[in-house]
Amino acid sequence: MPNTILVTYASRTGSTVGVAEAIGKRLTENGLQAAVLPMTEVKDLSLYSAVVAGSAIQDKKWLPEAMTFMHTYRNALLQKPFAAFLVCMTLAMEKGDYRNAVIEWLSPVRALVKPVSEGYFAGVLDISKIPSFSARLNFRISVALGVWTEGDHRDWTAIRSWANNLTSKP
């Protein structure tokens, strides 16, 4: 019987990798075995007792490879504890409370496999790492308008606390 928890992620500019690593580290600190892998490198879920999957948000959605992961492994994920998280900039916005909107972005995931727990985390805005010119321009404008600020908005306390709660689930 496998006893390793898979923490798997989809990321474009690296911030979700850090979130997945922090979750894996906390699970290990809590006495569990965890493997942290990009979704594109996962080959066989039978090796794992449970799965924690998370993606960066682009255009209000999990990244395409993250949804491909869900479709590919749906049947296996239905057989084991599954938790999901997202990383986005909306939760780092200076004004307004968009948490309910952000929660909706996991609906396509939920429709495939209902997570035992869901995590919603603010991410990082590093415009220099965004490959597309138009996306860079849009983010520059949004920063100039005061929608959000560039930088690392990850709340490590919230991330570790979510990982702690995972281990208390049956």
Ligand X SMILES: Cc1cc2nc3c(=O)[nH]c(=O)nc-3n(C[C@H](O)[C@H](O)[C@H](O)COP(=O)(O)O)c2cc1C
Does residue 4 contact residue 33 with C-beta atoms inside 8 Å? yes
Q: What is the dihedral of CA 49, 115, 12, 94, to 10 degrees?
A: -140
Which of residues 5 and 88 has its CB atom nearest to ligand X in the complex? 88
Nearest to ligand X by Cβ — which residue? 123
Does residue 32 contact residue 167 with C-beta atoms inside 8 Å? yes
Closest distance of CB 81 from ligand X, Å: 24
**Which of 40, 47, 60, 137 forms a contact with ligand X (CB under 6 A)?**
60
**Which of 41, 59, 94, 97 forms a contact with ligand X (CB under 6 A)?**
59
Q: Which of 28, 18, 43 is nearest to 155 (CA)?
A: 18
Q: Tell me if residue 105 falls in helix, strand or coil.
A: coil
Sign for the pseudo-dihedral over CA of 10, 15, 16, 20: positive
Closest distance of CB 78 from ligand X, Å: 26
Residue 23 interacting with ligand X (CB under 6 A): no
Centroid of chain to Cα 127: 20
Residue 12 interacting with ligand X (CB under 6 A): yes
Q: Tell me if residue 140 falls in helix, strand or coil.
A: helix
Residue 51 interacting with ligand X (CB under 6 A): no
Residue 44 interacting with ligand X (CB under 6 A): no
Binding segment for ligand X (CB under 6 A), chosen from 22-30, 32-40, 53-61, 109-117, is 53-61
Residue 127 interacting with ligand X (CB under 6 A): no
Residue 27 interacting with ligand X (CB under 6 A): no
Residue 84 interacting with ligand X (CB under 6 A): no
Sign for the pseudo-dihedral over CA of 70, 169, 49, 120: positive
| Binding interface with ligand X (CB under 6 A) | 11-16, 56-60, 87-90, 123-125, 130, 135
